[in-house]
Amino acid sequence: MLKRESNDGQFTASKLLQSAYESSKHDLKVADFKITDLEELHYMQRRKRTEFENAIRRNRFNFGQWMRYAQFEIDQKDYARARSVFERAIEVDYKNVPLWIRYIQSEIKLKNINHARNLLERAIKLLPRIDKFWYLYVTIEESIGNVTAVSHIFDKWLNWKPNKDVWLHYLEFEERYEEYEEERLIFEKFVKEFNDSDSWLRWVQFEKTHGDEINVGNVFKLGVKSLHSVNRLDSQFLISWIRFQYSLKQADNVKQLYEFGYDALNREEANKLQKFETDFQKKYGLDSASLDQLVLLKRKVTYEEKLEQDKQDWSTWWLYLSLLIDTLKVPNDEVIEKFKVCMSTQPQSFKVSEWCGYWYICKRYLLFVEFEVGSVDDSRSIYSELIKTIPHKNMFLFDFWKNIAEFELRNGDLAHMRKVLGQGIGFTENEEIIKYYISIELRLKYFDRARKLYNKLIELFPDKYKNWIEYFDFEESLGNELRSFSILEVAVFENFLDNKAKLKLIRNTIDKVTENYNFRLARRLLDYKVTIGNVNAKIERSLLELKIPSEDQIREYGSNAEVEFTIDESVKNRVRKEYERFLSGLKENAHDRIVMLESLKRFEQEYGDEEKVKQVEARLPRIIRRVKDGEDCKEEIIEYIFPEDENEIQQQVEEFKNAFLQDEQEDEEEVDEGGRKDDVEDGDEDEDEEGGERDEEENQSRIERRETKERKSFRSRFESSSEDEA
């Protein structure tokens, strides 16, 4: 809101609002009217009645106005007119409960009890479902001591089938006035109307207080019979009866009640009864055997309650079944029923963790049926059902397929075992189950089947180098060297594996290849390893020659099988040749070259002589460190100068020098030959003076060029260029 500045004495919006707020704090004062004579009284009454009539005429459903009108007439002591106003209002809407209550209370205040009673009779006939009228009626009659009328009112009220509280109030009323026989009759009607354990227990409590033991027992018997007939019998009622029998020391009756309760009650109520029995026996004492049995039964009840809340609590299922089988020694039929209930509760997701718990329960079921019941056919049918139930295409349970295979092996059905494992491979395509299948065939000595399975394994998982190693070892163990070496060649030289896997494969098989004297394949494998590996592969390839005998030794071994392999000079030369072959390709890689030379040095130290060692040491580089200034820091540069590279550079310089001197000599010979030709041409052209002068100038220029060339030598040129470079 905009606020405008104003001079003193002028009104502003803020002043108006503040004045209105302050005036609202004061209560409105009603004008005082003082009536001095009868005429003024009649005038005031006519005026007020006119106002009420006009207000009612405008809105006849404003019952607050009707009640104010009636109260005005009461204040004027005109009771007939007040009743007239109430009656007119009831004609407008007889269902208005507050209007009836105000009318009745007005008559009571005026001590017109009969008028109030008549009004209540009218109200309960017109509106019998309104409990407030009945309660008001009962209260009035009881307050004036009319007990018989109260009972009559309650009887009339019960005909309208009120709620349970009305019955209880009636019973309390009769008990207040010690009308026990009447109360007993009311209880008979009460349990028929409300046939539940709470109603019967109220009757039992009444008989315990105002009756005798016979009446209490009869009520219990009637209550059990009635409640059991309508399936409303619960543990609470039986526990109350058992407590009563305990108080009478009727042990036989108590035992019969327990047996009846376990048979008649549902599982939940029977569990509650079981808990009560266990706690009661703990409290009041029993022999140890019976007490232990009760504790186990209570534990059984606890497990069943947990399983009711969560049917996929596999840990509780396991404990529950263990209790039934191992401790309580429940009959097999009952145990099988529990197992079936558990199997019917299947996980809804594809999480392996959830299905593992389910499978372990099923596994226990299968073992129970096979060994405890002794039914192999039932076990096989359960396995078949589980194959359909478990979602094998979405998850893999190796233990499931392993147990099927072991089951069929135990029972000697190899054909069915192979069929099941074939199904497992088709469903899952998992290498673990294939390897397990292979292990079974190897145990059974079916090598052809194992070979087919290895082919299937390689077909499905060609990128696993361990599968190739196992296949290689399998063929080698059977003595099929040609097949095993072919497998190795395919694995290494084809593109099934990456380079890292190929290196691992070669490292795990090279010793076996050399032990079988297949040196050609060993050389091929390590040569391939050199192409994909580092400098260590080159060293390994070079040292391989130490394991390969010379040709003379091989020939000698063919004639004499007892010849011992020795490392002779030819073998050493082969090793040195391999080192030199790899060193020649490492001119640009100083680090690998140093590693190779160090390895060669160790080789010469072990197999060579001092001279060879010194030759290798002479080939090692010398280290030159230089410092290079950078923008923010200094950088140290390390250079390796190999003597071989220096000698090679010097040799190249010599070759270049010899080639340059040879070119100089050829140029001089060409100059001499040109001079002789010029002299012959000059003798033939003496007659022409001008031509002679030109030839003479040309000869002079040739001589100057020759002298200039003679003054220059290769050394001077080479030294000047090297200085420029420096």
Same domain as 405, residue 368: no
**In Å, what is the CA distance from 352 to each residue of 347, 373, 392, 434, 436?**
10, 30, 10, 20, 20
Tokens of 95: 């269902």
Contacts of 195 (CB under 8 A, 6+ apart): 226, 227, 230, 232
Same domain as 383, residue 396: no
302 and 331 Cβ atoms separated by less than 8 Å: no
Which pLDDT does position 195 carry in this prediction?
92
User: How far apart (Å, rounded) are the C-alpha atoms in residues 561 and 545?
Assistant: 21
Same domain as 316, residue 235: no
Tokens of 622: 């010398």
> Element (H or E) spanning 628, and its range?
strand 622-629
Mean pLDDT of the chain: 84
640 and 594 Cβ atoms separated by less than 8 Å: yes
**In Å, what is the CA distance from 118 to each residue of 108, 123, 125, 225?**
12, 9, 11, 45
Same domain as 435, residue 371: no
Which pLDDT does position 715 carry in this prediction?
41
Phi-psi region of 300 (alpha: psi -120 to 50; beta: other; left: phi over 0): alpha
Residue 268 φ/ψ, nearest 5 degrees: -65, -45
Please choose, from the candidates 386, 477, 397, the residue with its C-alpha nearest in 3D space to the C-alpha of residue 432: 397
Same domain as 311, residue 248: no
**In Å, what is the CA distance from 89 to each residue of 116, 319, 425?**
17, 74, 90
User: How far apart (Å, rounded) are the C-alpha atoms in residues 412 and 410?
Assistant: 6
Residue 649 is part of which domain span?
622-653
Which pLDDT does position 166 carry in this prediction?
94
Q: Is 339 domain-assigned?
A: yes
108 and 116 Cβ atoms separated by less than 8 Å: yes
Average pLDDT over residues 334-355: 89
Cα within 13 Å of Cα(383), Cβ side: 27
Average pLDDT over residues 107-135: 93
Which pLDDT does position 562 carry in this prediction?
54
Q: Is 491 domain-assigned?
A: no
Which pLDDT does position 635 carry in this prediction?
78
Per-residue confidence at 665, pLDDT binned at 50, 70, 90?
low
Same domain as 280, residue 209: yes
Q: Amino acid identity of 145?
A: G
Q: Is 554 domain-assigned?
A: no
Q: Is 714 domain-assigned?
A: no
DSSP symbol at 545: G
Per-residue confidence at 726, pLDDT binned at 50, 70, 90?
very low
Average pLDDT over residues 259-277: 85
Cα dihedral 185, 186, 189, 194 sign: negative
Cα 638 from chain centroid (whole Å): 55
Cα within 13 Å of Cα(381), Cβ side: 5
What is the number of structural domains in the chain? 4
pLDDT in tens, 22-56: 776 666 565 566 777 888 888 888 888 889 898 88
Which pLDDT does position 88 carry in this prediction?
92
Average pLDDT over residues 223-248: 90
Which pLDDT does position 710 carry in this prediction?
47
Q: Is 308 domain-assigned?
A: yes
User: How far apart (Å, rounded) are the C-alpha atoms in residues 486 and 470?
Assistant: 14
Same domain as 278, residue 303: no
CB atoms within 10 A of CB 444: 13
User: How far apart (Å, rounded) are the C-alpha atoms in residues 267 and 262?
Assistant: 8
Which pLDDT does position 711 carry in this prediction?
46
Which pLDDT does position 663 carry in this prediction?
63
Q: Is 551 domain-assigned?
A: no
Residue 629 φ/ψ, nearest 5 degrees: -80, 130
706 pLDDT more than 80: no
pLDDT in tens, 49-91: 889 898 888 888 989 999 999 999 998 888 999 999 999 999 9
Residue 624 φ/ψ, nearest 5 degrees: -120, 125
Same domain as 201, residue 276: yes
Which pLDDT does position 565 carry in this prediction?
74
Locus of tokens 């391999």: 578
Domain CATH for 416? 1.25.40
696 pLDDT more than 90: no
Which pLDDT does position 559 carry in this prediction?
56
Average pLDDT over residues 657-681: 60
Query: Helix, strand or coil for residue 625?
Result: strand
Which pLDDT does position 687 carry in this prediction?
46
Choosing from 332, 357, 387, the residue where a domain stops is 387
Q: Is 451 domain-assigned?
A: yes
Average pLDDT over residues 317-331: 88
Same domain as 382, residue 400: no
Q: Is 360 domain-assigned?
A: yes
Within 248-375, residue ranges assigned H as helices are: 251-264, 267-284, 288-309, 314-322, 332-344, 352-367
User: How far apart (Å, rounded) are the C-alpha atoms in residues 197 and 223?
Assistant: 8
Helices 97-109 and 79-92: angle between axes, nearest 10 degrees = 160
| pLDDT above 90 as % of the chain | 48
Which pLDDT does position 716 carry in this prediction?
38
pLDDT in tens, 553-597: 777 766 555 556 788 888 899 999 999 999 888 888 888 989 999
pLDDT in tens, 442-480: 999 999 999 999 999 999 999 999 999 999 999 999 999
Same domain as 429, residue 358: no
Of the two residues 96 and 667, the one the predictor is more confident about is 96
User: How far apart (Å, rounded) are the C-alpha atoms in residues 479 and 656?
Assistant: 62
Same domain as 424, residue 382: no
Average pLDDT over residues 113-137: 93
> Element (H or E) spanning 670, and its range?
helix 643-684
Average pLDDT over residues 115-137: 94
pLDDT in tens, 270-311: 888 888 887 777 666 555 556 677 778 778 888 888 888 888
CB atoms within 10 A of CB 605: 13
432 pLDDT more than 90: yes
Which pLDDT does position 724 carry in this prediction?
37
720 pLDDT more than 50: no
Same domain as 327, residue 409: no
Choosing from 387, 420, 448, the residue where a domain stops is 387
CB atoms within 10 A of CB 478: 13
CB atoms within 10 A of CB 20: 9
Q: Amino acid identity of 431?
A: E
Per-residue confidence at 263, pLDDT binned at 50, 70, 90?
confident
Choosing from 387, 420, 442, the residue where a domain stops is 387
Average pLDDT over residues 421-437: 92
pLDDT in tens, 484-527: 999 999 999 999 999 999 999 999 999 999 988 899 999 999 99
